[in-house]
Amino acid sequence: MTTGLTFSKSIQRLSQRSSNVWDIHDKACARLDAGEEIHLLSVGDPDLATLDSTINHTIESLRKGRTHYSPGAGEAELLKTIAEIEAKASQKPCSPDEVLIYPGATHAIYSVMACLLDDGDEIVVPEPMYIGYHGIFDAIGAKVVNVPLEVHDNFNLDADAVKAAISENTKVLFLNTPGNPAGNMIAPEVLADLAQYCLERNIWLVCDEVYSMITYDKRHTSIRRAAAKLDNIIIIDGLSKSHAMTGWRLGWSVAPAAVTEKLLQFSSSIIFGCCQFIQDAATFALKNDEEYMNSMREEYKTRRDYAYKRLKTMPGLKCQAPQGGMFLMVDVTDIAADGFAFASDLLDKQGVSVLPGEGFGPSTKGFVRISLTLGVSELEKALDKVEQYTLSLNA
């Protein structure tokens, strides 16, 4: 650009973050589009379809003319449905005026952060963390203080390490359970302890629970259930992962009513209400999902068990079984310089695309993330190729 026109600090910060973490995935997609046989294990977009019944309900809703402005907080029926689900999950009352609807969890996180943080304010976040957080925290201008998860103890969160990272400048502790990328679930007693610790110091505790429905050996405990008091607690959730509805863009926050009132001032100003027929779809999906949830969980568990069984025996790879979520983290340091070198060479030699771990944080530079977004027969073909590759490196 030739003029003296300038952009906001937010855009300057976002432009400064250059990362090659998606290069391998982008290359894989281009080769796939060109007709090559590529196994895509680098995305977090579930391969499962939106239920036919939800699609039919949405079409009906469209035909009924549900194509107009919606209340800023969300449609009453959807707020009530989510409040009931949250009340059941947390064993604590939850009223519709504690819930706010956004176009996706990403937007929910951004909006909530914009209400809690000013440029330069400190947020404590365990890492490895979801890649998408970088952009949100950069846009806000938050000063991120990362706490490493215990990489060799299945990415356990050490409450004392979190407390040590919290300072008098901390305004928010941001947690994600079950976690992306490592599928780690934070124990209820740790959640309770941190909630109380933060409350005593006037620190918000925001918890991203978008993988709450995808758990394997034990069920998710929400921060709302674990915490003794909810004054400082905000939950983020959405339909992208639980209902394989990434493209519908539907997420929500749950916070005390007085907090939600403030969050609404911001979200209604910048969103002005979410799409009516998508909210109808969300209400329908949430009310009619029991069978779907069970089969979805079974399907991911079958995939996780299969992938874990295969990967842990491959020469040079180390892998721990994730407790939830849609991914497996694999330590490749015995046979590659780092995750990027491994992922890049694996794509070149075998046509399998995985994501380098460095995008999630410094602790996982020597890892790659493998998505469970293919059925077992497809996973088998992809993992056969990963095995051939590891054998060639060890030969």
Ligand X SMILES: Cc1ncc(COP(=O)(O)O)c(C=O)c1O
- Cβ distance 268 to 72 under 8 Å? yes
Residues 183-222 binding ligand X (CB under 6 A) are 208, 210
Q: How far is the CB of 112 from ligand X (least distance, A)?
A: 12
Q: How far is the CB of 178 from ligand X (least distance, A)?
A: 9
The DSSP symbol for 120 reads T
- Cβ distance 389 to 41 under 8 Å? no
Specify the pairing of strand 233-238 against strand 204-208. Answer: parallel
Residues 154-183 binding ligand X (CB under 6 A) are 176, 180
CB closer to ligand X out of 54 and 240: 240
Among 13, 23, 47, 132, binds ligand X (CB under 6 A): 132
Answer yes or no whether residue 135 interacts with ligand X by CB under 6 A: no
Q: What is the DSSP string of 55-68?
A: HHHHHHHHHTT--S
Residues 228-267 binding ligand X (CB under 6 A) are 238, 240, 246, 251
Name residue 59's amino acid: I
The DSSP symbol for 8 reads -
Q: What are phi and psi of 13, to 5 degrees?
A: -65, -45
CB closer to ligand X out of 208 and 331: 208
Cα angle 351, 39, 291 (rounded to 5 degrees) comes to 170
Q: How far is the CB of 211 from ligand X (least distance, A)?
A: 7
Specify the pairing of strand 170-176 against strand 204-208. Answer: parallel
CB closer to ligand X out of 238 and 310: 238
- Cβ distance 286 to 84 under 8 Å? no
**How far is residue 178's CA from residue 185's CA, in Å, rounded to a whole number?**
5
CB closer to ligand X out of 250 and 317: 250
CB closer to ligand X out of 196 and 246: 246
Among 24, 38, 39, 44, binds ligand X (CB under 6 A): 44
Q: How far is the CB of 324 from ligand X (least distance, A)?
A: 11
Coil, helix or strand at residue 29: helix
CB closer to ligand X out of 246 and 388: 246
CB closer to ligand X out of 81 and 240: 240
Which two tokens mark 230?
A: 């909810």
Return the half-sphere exposure (C-beta side, CA atoms, 13 A cut-off) of residue 126: 28
CB closer to ligand X out of 42 and 176: 176
Question: Per-residue contact track with ligand X, 296 to 325, x per CB under 6 A?
Answer: ------------------------------
Residues 92-131 binding ligand X (CB under 6 A) are 104-106, 130
Q: What share of the chain is helix, strand, coil (3-state, %, to 5)?
A: 45, 15, 35
- Cβ distance 230 to 87 under 8 Å? no
Count, residues near ligand X per rule CB under 6 A: 14
Q: Which residues bind ligand X (CB under 6 A)?
A: 44, 104-106, 130, 132, 176, 180, 208, 210, 238, 240, 246, 251
